[in-house]
């Protein structure tokens, strides 16, 4: 169900509807652009609440994120959400980028701190004249009338002092005007529900959408997980590896695991599902199929 300009995610979920959303990244070349648009068109009939487009590490895809979200706003029925990070930008540059989102008809923004150019494990160094934490970008975007989403971390952000400190950060972002949160990828439903409980215990009811990444390549997911602080549990590894060598069978095991996680999340009260599509529709459609979600 598309939100439309007057319908916020909060309204939608408050009305008891489930939210599905899809995340894309700005492609590098013309072939990637074609793949992105074929994924968008294949997923459009599922009427997602929004589709989001990431902002490249180190601010490298600024113009592309603006252009793609603008094109989604103009040429589709979808609600685009543009990501934005604080990396390498002064406050006035960030204001300029927010202005260009407005000019493109984009009213939803995912306000993030971002990671240093050297990667997620490198030490954060603020940009002179810039912002230091995502909460400041939430305030900036919210004050300009954007509908704001933020990042959340079921296993805690890797540099957070504790899970409680991590929940305090999400609560501060909600109080600064964030309307909803989307989680980092994770593979244990209990990690997600633990985060929700910590946030609710602080008196904050912000909807938290679980971010779903099916394991289609175990080695790649483990590498990425180490960087971003997501663990791949032993039972998950065992199920994928016991599928053997045949890539089609391994893939099917990854899809089945993701569908089971989605089932557990929805059954436990998650307000919806946010899919990391990697600019392809196939895996998401396979998970929808397993969940019997149809257009
Ligand atoms: P913050 O909320 O600022 O948190 C960063 C760290 O600072 C945390 O350890 C937090 O505990 C700590 N902290 C926050 N506020 C305070 C405070 N007031 N005092 C002390 N400590 C504090 N990266 C990109 O480059 N582009 C993207 O498009 C992108 N999209 C993402 C989408 C999702 C759904 C998620 C989950 C992550 C995404 N990321 C993206 C990665 C993200 O930028 C990194 O995970 C980054 O390290 C943290 O961003 P944040 O917005 O959570 O930052």
Q: What are phi and psi of 124, to 5 degrees?
A: -70, 125
Give the chain's length. 295
The closest residue, in CA terms, to atom 2 on ligand 1 is 134
Cite the active site residues. 23
Task: Indicate if ligand 1 lies below 6 Å from the C-beta of 83.
Answer: yes
**192 neighbors 270 (Cβ within 8 angstroms):** yes
**According to the model, what pLDDT value does residue 17 have?**
82
**According to the model, what pLDDT value does residue 7 have?**
62
**Rounded Cα distance, 192 and 130, in Å:** 31
Going from the N-terminus, what domains does the chain have, and what CATH number goes with each? 9-291 (3.20.20.220)
Q: Is 31 helix (H, G, I), strand (E, B) or coil?
A: helix
Residue numbers of the chain with a pLDDT score lower than 50: 1-5
**According to the model, what pLDDT value does residue 5 have?**
47
CB contact set of 70 (below 8 Å; sequence gap of 6+): 80, 103, 104, 105, 106
Centre of ligand 1 from the C-alpha of residue 119, in Å = 12
Centre of ligand 1 from the C-alpha of residue 72, in Å = 25
**155 neighbors 191 (Cβ within 8 angstroms):** yes
**According to the model, what pLDDT value does residue 59 have?**
63
**26 neighbors 61 (Cβ within 8 angstroms):** yes
Question: What digits encode the pLDDT tens for the residues 208-255?
Answer: 999 999 999 999 999 999 999 999 999 999 999 998 889 899 999 999
**According to the model, what pLDDT value does residue 181 have?**
97
């Amino acid at each position: 169900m598309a939100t439309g300009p007057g319908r916020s995610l909060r309204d939608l979920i408050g009305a008891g509807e489930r939210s599905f959303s899809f995340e894309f990244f700005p492609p590098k070349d013309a072939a990637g652009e074609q793949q992105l648009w074929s994924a968008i068109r294949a997923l459009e009939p599922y009427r997602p609440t929004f589709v989001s487009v990431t902002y490249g590490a180190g601010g490298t895809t600024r113009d592309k994120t603006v252009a793609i979200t603008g094109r989604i706003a103009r040429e589709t029925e979808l609600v685009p959400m543009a990501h934005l990070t604080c990396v390498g930008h002064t406050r006035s540059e960030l204001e300029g980028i927010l202005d260009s989102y407005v000019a493109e008809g984009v009213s939803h923004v995912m306000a993030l701190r971002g990671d240093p150019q050297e990667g997620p494990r490198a030490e954060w160094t603020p940009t002179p004249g810039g912002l230091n934490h995502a909460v400041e970008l939430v305030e900036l975007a919210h004050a300009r009338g954007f509908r704001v989403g933020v990042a959340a971390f079921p296993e805690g952000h890797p540099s957070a002092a504790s899970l409680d400190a991590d929940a305090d950060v999400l609560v501060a972002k909600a109080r600064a005007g964030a309307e909803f949160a989307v989680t980092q990828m994770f593979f244990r439903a209990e990690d997600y529900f633990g985060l929700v409980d910590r946030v609710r215990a602080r008196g904050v009811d912000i909807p938290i959408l679980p971010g779903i990444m099916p394991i289609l390549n175990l080695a790649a997911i483990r590498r990425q997980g180490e960087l971003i602080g997501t663990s791949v549990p032993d039972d998950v590894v065992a199920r994928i590896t016991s599928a053997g060598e045949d890539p089609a069978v391994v893939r099917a095991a990854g899809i089945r695991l993701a569908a089971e996680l989605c089932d557990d999340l929805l059954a436990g009260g998650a307000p919806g599902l946010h899919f990391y599509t990697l600019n392809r529709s196939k895996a998401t459609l396979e998970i929808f199929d397993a969940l019997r979600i149809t257009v």
